[in-house]
Structure 1
Amino acid sequence: MKRFENLKAVLFDLDGTLVNTLPGLTELVNQMRSDFDKPPLSEEKVGKYIGKGMFVLVRRAMTDSMDEPFPEEMFNLAVKSMARHVEAGRYSKGVLYPDTIETIKYVKNLGLKTAIVTNKPYQMTLDTLAGKGLLELVDLVVGGDSAARPKPYPDPLVYACEKLGVAPEEVLMVGDSGNDSSAAKQAGAQSILVRTGWSEGVPLDEIAKRDEAAAMIDHLSDLQALLPAKEGAHA
């Protein structure tokens, strides 16, 4: 695709894009809810609440709603509960989607820089990545607490560009939700959306149109066909 001829870096979201972390996040949510004598939520429900980072997930999970207000004192207690369960580590760290490793290797072999840009806290991101063979393949990891504001704000992408030494217009963001494509659009980068994750209950087609995503793909491996040949990667 001609629009990717000047590409120098590909940024990947983590949850729902590279790794299926829904079972583990559901475990954490329900461990937290149990501390407050609340019944467990289903994976389907938790999947809808994922996307804007752990603080938002805590509020949504505790209120079982997308935007219902939650008293600050209770919210602070819930955040502490979630932090304890994350630190205890008694939850699934997730499973790689098929062809995740192969696709990132393909991107690297084109001579492009790679980064993971997620709203998951940085240390929790490292815990998720441990033992999966991904850390060795990326040049940078940006967590939800690495920049001033998380996605859908552009801050994490701008931060990644600065660290990688590339301009936003030379970057492609690959993610599964509007948090990724909106952050990319605001930063001046392009985006591709993959249908493997969760989009907060908003149809991905609507998100792609809103944020002018370059493409939507069914599987991460479909990205390979959209990238330029090696000789054009730095054109």
Structure 2
Amino acid sequence: MKAGHAAIRGVIVDLDGTMLDTVPDFHVAINRMRADFGLDAISHERIEQLVGKGSENLIRGVLAIDFDGAGVEQRISDAMAAYQRHYLAINGDHSALYDGVLAGLDAMKSMGLRMACVTNKPIAFAAPLLEKKGLASYFEVVYGGECLPRKKPDPMPLLQVCADFALPPGQVVAIGDSSNDAEAARAAGCFVLTVPYGYNHGQPVHEIESDGIVESLLQAATLISSHNHTAN
């Protein structure tokens, strides 16, 4: 965020890799799905590199470890059904909040910021997960990957939130852990802050063009507050 710009009035927060470490959930559900297909378990690290572009992309990547393109297409429907069944059975059981998430959200709420969660995770997974982890009440709006015709890195979900809040994109900041979040925010005209502890498809977060790297959502809230005190 830059001096002289308008005050921030809205915040759009990513879910996986930003508020919650959900790879342990993915790890359990994916390996149960692989066992259904007679495939060996894969590592936490391998799954982490595939997270962030939606469930279908994740499962395609998992199948591509063992099958060629035709083999993936032959199995994707059954694999998705198996994965969704296993994931819903354990959704949130193995995931954990990152440090500073609740304190950061509390600080943003106390500042009167409008708050939305935009994730590429299916809403059928995202909504109960937010409830289970005590996060749902912070957000006026939640969009999952299939809620709109296009998902991040397309700017559509972020622009929809701006419209929902009746705010220009220049008064909204997106907070995420990956290039998907940054590209969507840049295209929408929003500010973007990135956290260094998420997934980002195995690429260093420092390679993402953003308005700053924040160590936690609490630090993000502090930065927004400082910006707003000096904004025009």
Relative to the length of structure 1, the TM-score reads: 0.89
Amino acid at match of 2:69: P
- In 1, the alpha carbon distance for the partners of 2:127 and 2:91 equals 15
Q: Measure how far apart 1:76 and its partner are.
A: 1.5
In structure 2, relative to structure 1, the CA distance for the partners of 1:14 and 1:3 (3 Å cut) is: farther
Alignment of 1:14-53 (within 5 A): 14-53=15-54
Counterpart contact for 1:5–1:228, Cα < 8 Å? no
Q: Measure how far apart 1:232 and its partner are.
A: 4.2
In structure 2, relative to structure 1, the CA distance for the partners of 1:142 and 1:93 (3 Å cut) is: farther
- Indicate the larger mover: 215-224 or 109-118: 215-224
The DSSP-based 3-state class of the residue aligned with 1:215 is: coil
- In 1, the alpha carbon distance for the partners of 2:4 and 2:51 equals 31
Counterpart contact for 1:27–1:91, Cα < 8 Å? no
The residue aligned with 1:144 is 145
The residue aligned with 1:89 is 90
Amino acid at match of 1:75: I
Counterpart contact for 1:110–1:233, Cα < 8 Å? no
Deviations 1:70-95 (A, max 9, x none): 54221112112112223333762521
Displacement over 6 Å in runs of 4+: none
The residue aligned with 2:214 is 217
The DSSP-based 3-state class of the residue aligned with 1:86 is: helix
Amino acid at match of 2:165: L
Deviations 1:35-83 (A, max 9, x none): 1111111111100000101010010111139xx7354221112112112
Q: Measure how far apart 1:194 and its partner are.
A: 0.2
Q: Does 1:227 align with 2:228?
A: no
**Please, what is the CA RMSD of the aligned residues?**
2.2
- In 1, the alpha carbon distance for the partners of 2:6 and 2:20 equals 28
The DSSP-based 3-state class of the residue aligned with 2:78 is: helix
Amino acid at match of 1:223: A
The DSSP-based 3-state class of the residue aligned with 2:120 is: coil
Q: Measure how far apart 1:141 and its partner are.
A: 0.9
Amino acid at match of 1:47: E
- In 1, the alpha carbon distance for the partners of 2:225 and 2:117 equals 21
Counterpart contact for 1:112–1:233, Cα < 8 Å? no
Q: Measure how far apart 1:2 and its partner are.
A: 2.1
The DSSP-based 3-state class of the residue aligned with 1:2 is: coil
- In 2, the alpha carbon distance for the partners of 1:149 and 1:178 equals 16
The residue aligned with 2:69 is 69
- In 1, the alpha carbon distance for the partners of 2:5 and 2:14 equals 19
- In 1, the alpha carbon distance for the partners of 2:227 and 2:212 equals 20
- In 2, the alpha carbon distance for the partners of 1:40 and 1:233 equals 52
Amino acid at match of 2:20: V
Aligned residues: 229
- In 1, the alpha carbon distance for the partners of 2:136 and 2:92 equals 20
The DSSP-based 3-state class of the residue aligned with 1:221 is: helix
The DSSP-based 3-state class of the residue aligned with 1:217 is: coil
- In 2, the alpha carbon distance for the partners of 1:199 and 1:87 equals 24
- In 2, the alpha carbon distance for the partners of 1:156 and 1:80 equals 25
Q: Measure how far apart 1:228 and its partner are.
A: 2.9
Q: Measure how far apart 1:229 and its partner are.
A: 4.9
Relative to the length of structure 2, the TM-score reads: 0.90
Return 5+ residue gaps in structure 2 as ranges: none
Q: Does 1:169 align with 2:174?
A: no
- In 2, the alpha carbon distance for the partners of 1:119 and 1:24 equals 16
